């Protein structure tokens, strides 16, 4: 069983917490430590952002995180090294890379899939690679036992839900609002209705992200979804911290979110 499937099996109905941080933010030397901190505070799966020069789907908070990481020239290869380092002492917590397609194109799909498997990556979510364009990459990933993770959106029509369900592995990621990461217009009742509709076609666990900013919204989302993804709010915490206080501030918030969704 994959680490992702094993994680959801172990939770057996309890809700998963999936924190997102950008690799290399605030400094590449801190990322592995922060990942361990997330796990200690209750993270069930880690979404690790791969910095990209043109993060079209991200709001200002995650844009700035990418800029901080890129100031240290953090590359996709560097991110894979961080995952490999993390795996030396953690063999259970799934790591999902989240980012944009171009760095993967530049590395080459075959080489990337092999290297990601060797590093211990469990899933890959390319924000700008919908199922229509994903066949080649998904084939390479699956050959290495890595789950291609796909997004669903409030705008996704029924027929596409069915189609995406066919391609999705691991879990699906429902984008809770029309907007970029970090937006603040989350409508929980609407998310609940949409998730119910998704479940008619999707057997995989459903995670919900974008716009979850505090324990209260996390709890509400946990009421309707299988996993709660929190990104911008955590990145904000890192941004406000010093390198010395980043781990502590991050883990305090993650622990709070975790207890909220229990």
Partner 1 sequence: MDRYDLPDAHGHFGPYGGVYVAETLMAALAELNEEYARAKADPAFWQEYHYELKHYVGRPSPIYHAKRLSEKLGGAQIYLKREDLNHTGAHKVNNTIGQALLARRMGKKRVIAETGAGQHGVASATVAARYGMECVVYMGAEDVKRQAPNVYRMKLLGATVVPVESGTKTLKDALNEAMRDWVSNVDNTFYILGTAAGPHPYPMLVRDFQTVIGEESKVQMPEMIGRQPDVVVACVGGGSNAIGMFYPYIDVPGVRIVGVEAGGDGIETGRHAAPLSVGTPGVLHGFKSYLMQDENGQVSGTHSVSAGLDYPGVGPEHSYLKDIGRAEYDAINDDEAMNAFHDLCHLEGIIPALESSHALAWAIKHAPTMDKDKVILVNLSGRGDKDINTVAALSGITL
Distance CA 213, CA 232 (A): 8
CB nearer to partner 1: give 22 or 156: 156
CB nearer to partner 1: give 21 or 104: 104
Nearest alpha-carbon partner for 120 in 150, 149, 85, 148: 85
**Bridge partners of 199?**
none
Q: Does residue 99 contact residue 69 with C-beta atoms inside 8 Å?
A: no
Q: How far is the CB of 184 from partner 1 (least distance, A)?
A: 11
Q: Is 67 a catalytic residue?
A: no
Beta strands 95-99; 46-49: pairing state: parallel
The single residue of 25, 58, 122, 140 carrying the catalytic annotation is: 58
CB nearer to partner 1: give 44 or 58: 58
Q: Is 47 a catalytic residue?
A: yes
Q: How far is the CB of 160 from partner 1 (least distance, A)?
A: 7
Q: How far is the CB of 65 from partner 1 (least distance, A)?
A: 12
Contacts with partner 1 by CB under 8 A lie at 52-57, 59-60, 63, 70, 73, 75-77, 100-107, 127-130, 132-133, 150-157, 160, 164, 175, 178-180, 183
Q: Does residue 174 contact residue 152 with C-beta atoms inside 8 Å?
A: yes
Nearest alpha-carbon partner for 65 in 233, 236, 214: 236
The single residue of 25, 44, 47, 237 carrying the catalytic annotation is: 47
Residue numbers annotated as active site: 47, 58
């Amino acid at each position: 069983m994959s680490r992702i499937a094993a994680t959801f099996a172990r939770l057996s109905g309890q809700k998963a917490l999936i924190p997102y941080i950008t690799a290399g933010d605030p400094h590449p030397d801190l990322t592995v430590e922060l990942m361990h901190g997330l796990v200690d505070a209750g993270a069930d799966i880690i979404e690790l952002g791969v910095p990209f020069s043109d993060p079209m789907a991200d709001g200002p908070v995650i844009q700035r995180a990418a800029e901080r990481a890129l100031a240290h020239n953090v590359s996709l290869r560097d991110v894979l090294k961080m995952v490999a380092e993390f795996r030396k002492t953690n063999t259970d917590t799934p790591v999902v890379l989240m980012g944009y397609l171009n760095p993967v194109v530049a590395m080459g799909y075959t080489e990337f899939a092999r290297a990601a498997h060797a590093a211990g990556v469990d899933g890959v979510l390319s924000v700008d690679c919908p199922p229509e364009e994903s066949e080649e990459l998904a084939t390479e990933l699956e050959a290495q036992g890595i789950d291609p993770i796909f997004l669903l959106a409030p705008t996704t029509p029924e027929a596409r839900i069915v189609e995406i369900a066919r391609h999705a592995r691991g879990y699906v990621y429902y984008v809770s609002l029309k907007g970029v990461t970090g937006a603040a217009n989350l409508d929980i009742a609407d998310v609940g209705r949409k998730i119910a509709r998704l479940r008619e076609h999707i057997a995989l666990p459903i995670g919900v992200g974008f716009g979850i900013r505090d324990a209260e919204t996390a709890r509400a989302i946990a009421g309707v979804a299988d996993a709660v993804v929190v990104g911008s709010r955590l990145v904000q915490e890192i941004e406000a911290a010093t390198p010395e206080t980043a781990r502590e501030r991050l883990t305090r918030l993650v622990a709070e979110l975790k207890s909220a969704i229990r």
